[in-house]
Amino acid sequence: MVSLLEMPQTLPQQVPRQNDRPVEETESAEIMIDVRDLDFAYAGNKVLHNVSLDIPPKAVTAFIGPSGCGKTTLLRCINRMNDLIEGARITRGTIHLGGIDINAPQVDVVDLRRRVGMVFQKSNPFPKSIYENISYGLRIAGVNKRSRIDEAVEKSLRGAALWDEVKDRLDEGALGLSGGQQQRLCIARALAVEPDVVLMDEPCSALDPIATAKIEELIHELKRQYTIVIVTHNMQQAGRVSDHTGFFYLGKLIEFGPTTKIFTNPSERRTEDYITGRFG
């Protein structure tokens, strides 16, 4: 079995693989996640149609679109979370992460999910201490040395801009934290195993404006080190935090491009109508 922990750290264009695009294009573009001709179905009901996009490394990519358009489905395809749903499967196309086909039979899905962390709409800390929430993933990965775990806990909490708020109460229950702090704890938990990609599924939808601002500021900091893909219903949030935006409608990727372009002069009428609130 191929371990994704041993995947090349170099960019995918340096990994030889087959695709249908001209060589010059693949050689010039920086791509972390390469989604190509993807169809996805739930129990035979197709919900993604021929989606292709290149997600660049160390940048924030936002998926926007009305409910049911397929943006969360695509997000969950990137770390194979949909594998857990019976009857749900990719029916055509590929997703490459760092040049590796993540759906290849030899890929270890646990390694994949370590490399591609996920933060959900509602914070879901374990009913354990703050410390244990962070250390849990490391222990699962076989790290047992206390000093190394301590170091990772502090690094992750600092990375999630939570350290100063919790450093004196690491043994207290995580469920005692505020909603915004819990969400940042979940981000810290994802960071603890040093992923390359962090997927965020409406991470601020349950938070107040201050907690939302803290998460957005955090996202801005995190993109220096990580590739971030965020699903959001908040147009202003997509405009604030992302570098690239994809607009989905009825399972199709209608438009994908730099966020500034999408929000000032989209190429597609449907994108314009959706983001300006003239849809339907």
Report which DSSP code applies to 249: E
Q: Does 260 bind other proteins (CB under 8 A)?
A: no
Report which DSSP code applies to 126: -
Q: How far is the CB of 266 from other proteins (least distance, A)?
A: 6
Q: How far is the CB of 235 from other proteins (least distance, A)?
A: 6
Q: How far is the CB of 259 from other proteins (least distance, A)?
A: 10
219: helix, coil or strand? Answer: helix
13, 96 contact by CB (below 8 A): no
Please choose, out of 139-147, 212-220, 225-233, 268-276, the segment that lies near other proteins by the rule CB under 8 A. 268-276
Q: Does 263 bind other proteins (CB under 8 A)?
A: yes
Which residues of the chain form beta strands (DSSP E)? 33-42, 45-55, 60-64, 88-97, 100-101, 116-119, 197-201, 227-231, 244-249, 252-258
Q: Does 67 bind other proteins (CB under 8 A)?
A: no
Q: How far is the CB of 275 from other proteins (least distance, A)?
A: 5
Cβ proximity to other proteins: between 113 and 240 the closer is 240
Give the burial class of 25: count Cβ atoms within 10 A of its Cβ; 0-12 exposed, 13-18 middle, 19 or more buried.
exposed
Cβ proximity to other proteins: between 39 and 268 the closer is 268
Q: Does 275 bind other proteins (CB under 8 A)?
A: yes
**Taking the CB of residue 265, how many other CB atoms lie within 10 A of it?**
10
Cβ proximity to other proteins: between 9 and 264 the closer is 264
Q: Does 273 bind other proteins (CB under 8 A)?
A: yes
196, 226 contact by CB (below 8 A): yes
Site for other proteins in 70-89 (CB under 8 A): none
Q: How far is the CB of 71 from other proteins (least distance, A)?
A: 18
Site for other proteins in 215-254 (CB under 8 A): 235-236, 239
Q: Does 266 bind other proteins (CB under 8 A)?
A: yes
Pair of tokens at residue 101: 């086909």
Question: In 3D, which of 40, 220, 176, 190 has the Cα closest to residue 113?
Answer: 190
Binding site for other proteins (CB under 8 A): 235-236, 239, 263-266, 271-273, 275-280
